[in-house]
Amino acid sequence: MTNLLPLEEKKELFLKNKERLAIILGITASVSLVCLFLILSSINFYILTEIVFQKNILEQTEEKYKTPVFLNFKNAIQKYNIVFVQLNSFYEKEIYFSQILKIISNIQRPESLYLSDLSLIRDSENKKIKITTSGFSASRENLLIFKKNIEENQEIKNPYFSPESWTNPKNVKFYLTFEIYKNGN
């Protein structure tokens, strides 16, 4: 088929087709936006009604549990929770005193050597316990034997005798520090 329309009319028809297409796309986009707005506003109203409903339930529940019996029970629970936190802290920081005493008592000592004082300091960062002890030995030779026995013990680390411990040949008062690691490092 032949198109007998003049060029100006063809351009005019082409522009009218573009206008119609633009109008149809504009109407489609605006209808979509209106629908989206309506959907979002309905979701908003739903959420707002749920919030009001949940607030009412919360208020009713709070009123229900404001009785003196419940408040006493709540106070008791809070008090025991504080105690449990303190107990947990104690168990995490505890020193196994009996194990340390067992390690120290298993060190062979000459008969005339006695331990008199014992002090324990826990270092939680390095998981070690620093022990400071003092004692009495009848002779320096007995103290040397005791030092050798301590150094042979695998559980005791970094033994250190104070310099004053070696000054007297007899009736020696000594001071000793060493470390015991919690996990045997």
pLDDT digits (tens, 9 = 90+) for 165-176: 888 888 888 888
If asked whether residues 14 and 88 sit together in one domain, one would say yes
One domain, residues 154 and 131: yes
Between these two residues, 144 and 95, which has the higher pLDDT value? Answer: 144
Residues 14 and 58 in one domain: yes
81 and 114 in one domain? Answer: no
Same domain, 87 and 127: no
Does residue 102 share a domain with residue 176? yes
CB neighbour list of residue 20: distance below 8 Å, 6 or more residues apart: none
> What is the reported pLDDT for 16?
94
Strand blocks (E) in 51-169: 113-123, 128-139, 156-161
42, 67, 94 - which closes a domain = 94
Q: Quote the mean pLDDT of the chain.
A: 85
- 152 and 79 within one domain: no
Total Cβ atoms within 10 A of residue 115:
16
> For residue 138, which of 180, 101, 110, 102 has the smallest C-alpha distance?
110
pLDDT of 124: 66
Q: In 3-state terms, what secondary structure has residue 117?
A: strand
Q: What is the pLDDT of residue 99?
A: 79
Domain presence at residue 101: yes
- Please indicate, yes or no, whether residues 104 and 130 belong to a single structural domain of this protein: yes
Whether residue 2 lies inside any domain: the answer is no
pLDDT over 90 at 131, yes or no: no
Residue 18 has a pLDDT of 94
1 is a domain residue? no
CA distance 75 to 91: 24
Task: Please check whether residues 86 and 145 belong to one and the same domain.
Answer: no
**Is the model's pLDDT at 184 over the cut of 60?**
no
Q: Residue 68: which pLDDT band, with cuts at 50, 70 and 90?
A: confident
Among 48, 66, 94, where does a domain finish? 94
Q: Is the dihedral of CA 72, 74, 80, 86 positive or negative?
A: negative
Structural domain count of the chain = 2
Say if residue 15 is in the same domain as residue 68: yes
Residue 72 resides in a domain? yes
Confidence of residue 185 (pLDDT cuts 50, 70, 90): very low
Greater pLDDT, 133 or 48: 48
Longest dimension (CA), the chain: 137
Residues 157, 106 share a domain = yes
Residue 27 lies in a domain: yes
Domain of 103, CATH number, reads 3.30.1360.100
Average pLDDT rounded to a whole number, residues 93-111: 78
13-25 mean pLDDT: 94
Strands, DSSP E only, in 6-164? Answer: 113-123, 128-139, 156-161
Domain limit, last residue, from 44, 65, 94: 94
Q: Are residues 11 and 90 in the same domain?
A: yes
Residue 32's domain comprises 7-94
Domain membership flag for residue 38 = yes
